[in-house]
Amino acid sequence: MPTREDIGDWVPLADAVAEYRAVCGYASSVETYRKHAAGSRSVHLGASVTATKDRRGRWVVSRMDLDIGLAAERERMNRIARVTADYGNHILDRSTTERVPTEWGYYEVRGDFHFRYDTIDAYRKRSNGTWMCNTCWTSTQSEHDHPECHTCSCWGGCGRDCTLSAIRCDACGTRLEL
């Protein structure tokens, strides 16, 4: 529990949330953070930050932990901005097979192709994502020759495009068997 001597090392949770919101542009309500603090004694402010109550019964977080979390959030946002700019210049991050977050959604590289998912297009029900060719940066054609999974065959769509068997680019002749 914070003592009177080290009160400068602690930040009220409401102030910490305001600082986090100023850095990233969004944050849940302070009440949501209080509920998380009460349930798990930690909150996510760029990183997991331990929360405790001071003598007055207010939730507070360590200044050092908050600064670490804010720095991590700044770095995450800078990386997303850098990756988005690189994508605009047709440069893909091939160091991972995981989703690469961007300002508009994410992309995922698979061989000579990448899957581009735009969250706004998905929200507006315009698109659930598009396979793009890494060579010529055009939309691709997909082949669906795999059998349906158990979920699709018995209950309807699984949402994973389980019948996808190949992706091909007719413009440059590139093909990927899945």
Query: What does the pLDDT look like over 86-125, one tens digit per residue?
Result: 999 999 988 887 899 999 999 999 889 999 999 888 888 8
Rounded Cα gap, residues 13 and 59, in angstroms: 5
Q: Are 98 and 166 in the same domain?
A: yes
Domain closes at, from 42, 63, 82: 82
Is position 87 within any domain?
Answer: no
Structural domains of the chain, count: 2
Same domain, 72 and 98: no
Same domain flag for 116 and 152: yes
- Residue 96's pLDDT is 80
Q: Are residues 97 and 125 in the same domain?
A: yes
Residue 136, SS3 per DSSP: coil
Same domain, 53 and 121: no
Whether the predicted pLDDT of 7 surpasses 60: no
Distance, CA of 63 to CA of 127 (rounded, Å): 43
Is residue 70 located within the same domain as residue 101? no
Does residue 19 belong to any structural domain of this protein? Answer: yes
Pair (160, 137) in one structural domain? yes
Is residue 1 a part of any domain in this protein? no
Burial status of residue 88 (CB atoms within 10 A of its CB: 0-12, 13-18, 19 or more)? exposed
**CB-count exposure of residue 158 (10 Å: 0-12, 13-18, 19+):** middle
User: Is 57 among the domain residues?
Assistant: yes
Query: Do 162 and 104 sit in the same domain of this protein?
Result: yes
The pLDDT value recorded for residue 129 is: 87
In a shared domain, residues 97 and 165 = yes
**Mean pLDDT along residues 126-152:** 84
Q: Is residue 118 part of a domain?
A: yes
In terms of domains, do 61 and 98 share one? Answer: no
pTM summary value: 0.76
User: Domain check: are 106 and 161 in the same one?
Assistant: yes
pLDDT in tens, 50-63: 999 988 999 999 99
Domain with 72, as residue range(s), is 7-82
CA nearest neighbour of 140 among 102, 98, 172: 172
Domain boundary among 55, 82, 109: 82
Same domain, yes or no, for 133 and 78? Answer: no
